[in-house]
Structure 1
């Protein structure tokens, strides 16, 4: 196609377009109707970010601070009450770590070095489990006898019993249950068996297996 042919084609087309725009200002031929002014059209993603988006796996069971009534929830709630969850703290009475163990209780579950215990979080977690297993064995008959009953206005649950035993020892829990709340041990800070039994009720502690000889070993 030569230049003259192009001119003969373009010029009439341009004239027709101008006439259409003049006669139909609101028609679909109005270029202003397609203006992108004021719109955010920059959808570019940086190379680094795009790689992150592509490589991240879809995780359906991500960790959440809310642990509910699970066993982990039980441990963390009790630890927060005892020490605010601090593995390396010692209170004014010499109780140690995240779960505030006394040296005599540690000996029962096979730990004879309080200093080693204090600076070893893994050992502290194992100590908590061993102590719970031992307490559950000692209190197994009382759990069966009193679970679900109301004593002193508190509904008795296995987790409440184990929490109270952690505070005061299984012997004090036996006395509370068998006296129907009349014998309510309180520690030096005023925490009672009844308070722990109520505060930590209803958690799932079924994974704690009763074990008379439970020990904490690495």
Structure 2
């Protein structure tokens, strides 16, 4: 009888031990910075957030992918930055370009990410209108050693202005352009090639 009691006691202890192996009473804490309450398309930094925390999202060749990749190249996606030449915001707009699309207060513009996104759309639509004939004529060709796409043309126009891009294309790549940091039309046409920019419609009078 004593042996049976001992045997059942050992069995109960073993079963208890096994059951505890599959039960955790420890509370698991989730860091708030990893919680997402909706679809994550992009990271919008605050004015005092370091640039190193802003990384370009992977959005493929969509239009959102195009504008986020271009914004990251211009400012690492920082809406609140002003560079040493006075270009401002995520897309590094100059004062003359902003005036063309109806923005006259640089301080308000710099503090308003939504306004900056609208400005990018308006400026791209205006550039697409200015370059509409060149897009039809040049897309699919190799010019200056670069396969020409619509998104490449529009990215280059954001860098250099549509007039300089038109001169580049019509000269077969002979009339180049480089900004103060050494970025060229040719480089932008190659880097931003193949994105879907059909979302943007040409608009001569595009405004905010």
Where on the TM-score scale, by shorter chain, does this alignment land: which range?
0.7 to 0.9
- 2:185 maps to which of 175, 185, 193: 193
Higher CA-based Rg? 1
For 1:123 and 1:167, locate their aligned partners in 2 and report how far apart those are by CA, in whole Å: 19
State the secondary structure of the residue aligned to 1:36.
helix
Structure 2-normalised TM-score? 0.78
- RMSD of equivalent CA atoms: 2.8
- 1:36 maps to which of 15, 28, 32: 15
Q: Please show how residues 34-183 of structure 1 align to structure 2 within 5 Å.
A: 35-36=14-15, 39=18, 40-42=21-23, 62-63=39-40, 65-183=57-175
For 1:43 and 1:215, locate their aligned partners in 2 and report how far apart those are by CA, in whole Å: 59
Report deviation, 1:99.
0.4
State the secondary structure of the residue aligned to 2:140.
coil
CA displacement, residues 26-63 of structure 1 (integer Å, 9 cap, x when unaligned)? xxxxx86x9437531315697x99xxxxxxxxx9x943
CA displacement, residues 90-142 of structure 1 (integer Å, 9 cap, x when unaligned)? 11111111100000011110111112111111111111000000000110111
Report deviation, 1:152.
1.5
For 1:109 and 1:87, locate their aligned partners in 2 and report how far apart those are by CA, in whole Å: 18
Q: Could you say which residue in structure 2 is the equivalent of 1:210?
A: 202
For 2:22 and 2:59, locate their aligned partners in 1 and report how far apart those are by CA, in whole Å: 43
| Unaligned runs of at least 5 residues, structure 1 | 1-13, 22-30, 50-58
Q: After TM superposition, which residue ranges in structure 1, 4 or more long, deviate above 4 angstroms?
A: 43-46
| Unaligned runs of at least 5 residues, structure 2 | 30-36, 42-56
Structure 1-normalised TM-score? 0.74
